[in-house]
Chains A and B, each alone.
Chain A
Amino acid sequence: MDLKKKTSQLLIGSFLVYALLVATHLGEFWPFSVYPMFSQAGRPWNRSLVRDVDANMISSDDLWKEVKLGDLPGEPVPMVPLGISQNDMANMVSKTKVWDSDRVLGLRKLFDKYLDEKIFLVFKAHGEKVDNEEEPVSVKFTPFILLSADTTIFNPNLDIQFK
């Protein structure tokens, strides 16, 4: 077979497979992708952040209060030294629609080694554009779930679905 024919068949054939797979899998079938990251500009976003809080916080009235960055309680818990991917944390917290025991165990497993000594409060962070020249983006932090050695408590003020 001549080189041009063989090359054409391989390129066009592989491209058709590429197109078919990304078209039927929301633009992603690794390593094929249409690279849609950052395509939806200006929309509100949800991320997460973890704080190390002390035991007194658990009984505090302010435990589940929505706060701004400067008012976050406790100490920061950086994910890098824990070997946890920030993106995994943020997506697990923001994309889980129904929390069942497997999902809770999955979240706890990420922090397994540290919960004997620490109490972690996981916050959902929500950002959106606001009409304010000084601060054009509003970022609010809502306590979502508290994890300790023997306890998992969800924010009772949120509408969370459980199974």
Chain B
Amino acid sequence: MAFLQNVRLPQWLYSNLFDYEAEETKGDFYAFKFFELVVLVYVIQFAWDWGFYIQKISDVVLPLGMANYIDVSFMFHHNISLVNAAIMVVAGLVGFFRLNKYGYAVCLVSFHLHYISRYCLGEISHGSNLVGMAVLLLALAQWSFGNTKNMRVFALGMTYFYFGFGYTSAGICKLIATGYTWVDGSNLWMWIYERSVDVTSKQGFFEPNLLQEWALSSHLFATLTLLFGILAELTAFLIWFKKTRTFSVLILLGMHIGISISMNIMFMENIIIMFSVMYPWGRIIDRFLPSQAMGTHK
């Protein structure tokens, strides 16, 4: 990796993502801490939800991630998944309270093991990916910058970059796998029918809502719904730029709400994490605080 010695991000990207020069205010500090808290709450939730579920599993159907190289079936017995859940939570707390600069890194390793054990039954779940990316970026920030103001700036900049990249790549995948006909409204009909089976299986019955009825009765409406979705994803790289970040996140939040209504799939983690990190909450908090500057502690 010697070539990395000489690499530099283009200035337009660097200055939009990483503002190390700005003085850290109390609002910035509390807003970032809130973002970390949101991530930590999800870590705790996944740790125990998956920890108990893994004990019900007895076979690997689809190996994911490191499960391609290690047999994760040892996690299915003797409550080992619950021990891993405890490690995940403790390491997350160590990172959150700045007790050790490797806290989030240990949490991430444990989290990965948990994920590949939980999702080995044939399903790949994307709901936890943004939470995992947030833990990874917090780990990288804490490891590289220690517990300083620069950790916050770096973690946020990286989060903007990877969230923008992730959504844009989702849009590109659709164009590669299906092409421009992806927006054909009849494709939304297929997904609504598919989801009707899933919802029936989950809760015993399915009642289409108003948006689903409109989509099923109008090809044009269904096409416009899909068009909005793919445009929201393809333009998600606008998160990288300060001027368009808030707008782009608003569009993506709209897309997620649209998905939850039209397909009964709620990406709650994505919605809450994006909402907590992408808006300039620091400035809003500062308006209610008497003294704003934290002083720099690089």
Chain A residues with CB under 8 Å of chain B are 3-14, 18, 25, 27-43, 45, 47-50, 69, 76-80, 83, 85-92, 94-96, 102-103, 105-106, 109-110, 125, 127, 129, 136-137, 139
Contact = CB atoms under 8 A, between A and B. Distances in A.
A9 B170 contact: no
Nearest to B3: A12
Given A10-B144, A35-B169, A88-B122, A48 B201 contact: yes
Given A31-B136, A127-B194, A137-B193, A88 B126 contact: no
Nearest to B141: A10
A91 B203 CA distance: 18
A28 B194 CA distance: 23
Given A37-B126, A40-B177, A42-B186, A7 B191 contact: no
B65 A28 contact: yes
Interface string B194-238: 101110111111000000000000000000000000000000000
Interface of B: 1, 4-5, 7-9, 14, 18, 20, 53, 56-59, 61-62, 64-65, 68, 112, 115-116, 119, 121-126, 128-133, 135-136, 140, 144, 150, 154, 157-158, 161-162, 166-167, 169-170, 172-174, 176-178, 181-182, 184, 186-187, 189-191, 193-194, 196-198, 200-205
Given A92-B61, A102-B59, A39 B68 contact: no
28 contacts: A4-B8, A5-B8, A7-B18, A8-B9, A10-B154, A11-B158, A25-B65, A30-B115, A30-B119, A30-B128, A31-B115, A36-B170, A36-B177, A37-B126, A39-B173, A39-B178, A41-B187, A45-B194, A49-B197, A69-B200, A76-B204, A78-B202, A83-B53, A90-B201, A91-B61, A91-B62, A102-B59, A106-B59
Given A8-B8, A30-B112, A102-B59, A136 B161 contact: no
A39 B121 CA distance: 21
A91 B121 contact: yes
B134 to A, nearest CB: 8
Contacts of B20: 3
Nearest to B150: A3
B201 A106 contact: no
Contacts, number: 201
A71 to B, nearest CB: 14
Nearest to B52: A83
Contact of B121 (A88, A125, A137): A88
A18 B162 CA distance: 10
A80 B202 CA distance: 5
Contacts of A28: 64-65, 124
Contacts of B53: 83, 85
A69 B142 CA distance: 53
A95 B190 contact: no
Nearest to A139: B193
Given A7-B157, A13-B1, A79-B201, A29 B166 contact: no
B65 A29 contact: yes
A80 B203 contact: yes
Given A13-B1, A33-B126, A106-B57, A42 B154 contact: no
B112 A39 contact: no
A12 B178 contact: no
A95 B61 contact: yes
Given A12-B4, A47-B194, A95-B61, A38 B154 contact: no
Nearest to B183: A41
B133 A42 contact: no
A69 B140 CA distance: 50
Contact of B56 (A36, A47, A90, A110): A110
